[in-house]
Amino acid sequence: MRGVAWSAAAVALAVSACAMGGVPTSELPDAPIAFTYRTAEEARRRAEQLADDPSGPEVGQPVRRTGYNDIIATDDSLASYFGRLFGKVGEEERYAGRLAFLSPRTGEVSVVAAARRGSIALAWSPEHDRLLFSQPGDLDYQIYEYEVESSTVRPVTHAPPAHTQACYGADGRIVVAAVDARVSPVRSYLAISGPGGRRPFRALTDGPFDHSPACSPASAHVAFVRGGDGGRMELLVLGLDSDGPPRRLAPGRHPAFSHDGEWIAFAAPYQRELRLWRMRPDGTGRAPIGRGIRHEARPAISPDGRIVAYVAAEEPPRRHLYLRRFDGTGDRILFADGDGEYPVW
């Protein structure tokens, strides 16, 4: 892949899938996973830093505070974002992850040199030739697009407000999460571009706590998360051209459409943890994806619809990538050479 720097620290899978009884490497598609990557040394230093900071987030556990980390995408990015707003740059930026591509079959990692540290992958284009990602600036986050063939980056949004998440919708339109920190409390809502990603963006929802858009590859719909009282997170779906209200689906967060548009994978509370679930876009057919034994989040479905990658933490605050078949079988670790999180497949 052009325009990326190869990492020598992560060039092999952590363990043999066959030895673990998980999904064999031969079943994995060639399509790369975009994700947030920290080297083993960066991950170790970050874990030590968080262990020394009793006020830090309880990384790897369900967030029971404001839930704003879901708007910004990571606890680290949240701290950085609000630190920038008030003129303070936190120590956590030293170990912010890098945008990178992971080969599922070989474990090779390629860092996207054109993206700033702290950037987060958001969505592949239908042809897998462009990637939307959020990138930190001096004061906020904005959406950019990386073109694989030319290794170039172009801005998609600009301030104000901040724009932290995005997905590719029908007709080349781009749906974004807009975060307005100029009001109190902070307001987040969805907005949509014109065809082909053309500006201006118009408001798609009113907020005040809408985020995590996931666009259907097969229809003009977007799934998203709406926050409620007591930290409750609920999944909704809305037609991009609809004048009516969105339809409520189920409690949950981190929605991701399958590439045929037939399923939504998401994370939802189960006892005191998050588990992976799936359902149809109309809310029917809801069922767990496997029998999780750990805190699971951020599902990403493979292009062929057979595998789901996700983030888990055996020893928080470390974060690793796992995968299992979409039917819930074959659970195995995918990447543990350093930190890996926020996969987009």
Q: Long-range contacts of range 306-312, CB-CB < 8 Å, 24 or more positions apart?
A: 306/27, 307/23, 307/27, 307/28, 307/29, 308/265, 308/276, 309/33, 309/104, 309/334, 309/343, 309/345, 310/267, 310/276, 310/343, 311/340, 311/341, 311/342, 311/343
Q: How far apart are CA 319 and CA 76, in angstroms?
A: 13
Place of tokens 């007709």: 171
**pLDDT tops 90 at residue 85:** no
| pLDDT (0 to 100) of residue 154 | 97
Q: How far is CA 69 from CA 62, 165, 266, in A?
A: 11, 12, 16
- Spell out the residues 6+ positions from residue 331 whose beta carbon is closer than 8 angstroms to its own: 22, 23, 290, 322, 323, 324
Q: Give 1's pLDDT tier (boundaries 50, 70, 90).
A: low
In order of 247, 292, 333, the CA distances from 127 in angstroms are 29, 32, 27
pLDDT of res. 63: 31
Q: Is 74 a residue whose pLDDT tops 80?
A: no
pLDDT tens per residue across span 153-207: 999 999 999 999 999 999 999 999 999 988 888 899 999 999 999 999 999 999 9
Say what the pLDDT of residue 65 is: 30
Residue 75, pLDDT above cutoff 50: no
E runs forming strands in 228-280: 233-239, 247-251, 253-257, 264-270, 273-279
Q: What is the pLDDT of residue 133?
A: 97
Q: What is the dihedral of CA 233, 237, 241, 244, to 10 degrees?
A: -80
CA 71/CA 154 separation, integer angstroms: 22
Tell which wins on pLDDT, 12 or 151. Answer: 151
Q: Which of 105, 95, 124, 140 is nearest to 35 (CA)?
A: 124
What pLDDT is recorded for position 114? Answer: 96
Helix (H, G, I), strand (E, B) or coil at 129: coil
Sheet with 233-239: list strands edge to edge: 210-215, 221-227, 233-239, 247-251
Query: Residue 94: which pLDDT band, with cuts at 50, 70 and 90?
Result: low
Domain 4-318+327-344: CATH class, spelled out: mainly beta
User: How much is the pLDDT for 14?
Assistant: 39
**Is 58's pLDDT higher than 50?**
no
> What is the per-residue pLDDT for 53?
61
- Which residue is associated with the tokens 């292009």? 303
Name the token pair of 60.
Answer: 């790897």
Residue 291 banded pLDDT, cuts 50, 70, 90 = confident
d(CA 5, CA 3): 7
d(CA 57, CA 74): 10
pLDDT in tens, 104-124: 999 999 999 999 999 999 999
Helix (H) or strand (E) holding 46: helix 40-51
What is the pLDDT at residue 80?
52
* pLDDT over threshold 50, residue 320: yes
Six-digit token string for 145: 């697009």
The mean pLDDT of 65-81, rounded to a whole number, is 44
Whether residue 340 is predicted with pLDDT greater than 50 in this model: the reply is yes
Chain centroid to CA 304: 19
Nearest to 172 by CA among 201, 193, 142: 193
